Amino acid sequence: MGVKCWLSAAGLVAAVCTSTATATPINQTLPSLNSGGSSGPFPVFVDIGTFSAIPLGESLISGRIAGTFGNATPGGGSFMSLFLGNGGDPADDVLVANCADEQCRLNNTPWSHEFTNDDLLRLSRFTGPLAFVAQQDSLNQVRLGPTTLIAVSEGSTPVPEPGTLALVGSALILFAAARRRRSLV
């Protein structure tokens, strides 16, 4: 009886020490966008959408994002920069694409961005859904085709404090000793 108790205690402590996180595959597409246009003053920030497929408490650990400047609507678009992050301040977010010439402004031009280690480090400050924002830098509409995020997210691995482990271990030892004493009586 005592051996089973000790094995159970060791198994519980091992279970507490070896919890790991699992990766979540992300594949989400935001629809095309035609903003209402703005007359300035520039820059103007346009909310394109939110990649809500990222679970709360998780952040990206790899991936890429892709889309097109321009869509099915004829006519010119605005010069713009595209950011992924919390949608609050482009200085905090990751720049994923930039339309700064006439080619991408007037034509449907594909773009894509593979996340670097620096990008992933910046994005790890935000957990859960990520905002996708355009910084409009000229007249006309912000025109974008569908934008797809293909990535993997993961939550942080909880690591118990040494004091917590010592407390759990002590409680298990006392529990095992009490059971053994009871079985001897």
Q: How many domains are contained in the chain?
A: 2
CATH number for position 153: 2.60.120
**pLDDT value at residue 84:** 97
- Whether the CB-CB separation of 53 and 132 falls below 8 Å is answered with no
Q: What residues contact 138, with CB distance under 8 A and at least 6 apart?
A: 42, 78, 79, 105
Same domain, 178 and 136: no
Q: Which domain holds residue 97?
A: 22-157
Same domain, 38 and 12: no
Q: Measure the CA–CA gap between 48 and 132, rounded to whole angstroms.
A: 6
Q: What residues contact 81, with CB distance under 8 A and at least 6 apart?
A: 90, 95, 97, 98, 99, 100, 134, 135, 137
**pLDDT value at residue 76:** 76
**pLDDT value at residue 159:** 53
What is the full per-residue pLDDT of the chain (185 aa) written as tens digits?
Answer: 444 544 444 454 444 444 456 899 999 999 999 998 788 899 999 999 999 999 999 999 999 999 999 988 777 789 999 999 998 788 899 999 999 999 888 999 999 999 999 999 999 999 999 999 999 999 888 999 999 999 999 986 555 556 666 666 777 787 677 777 777 76
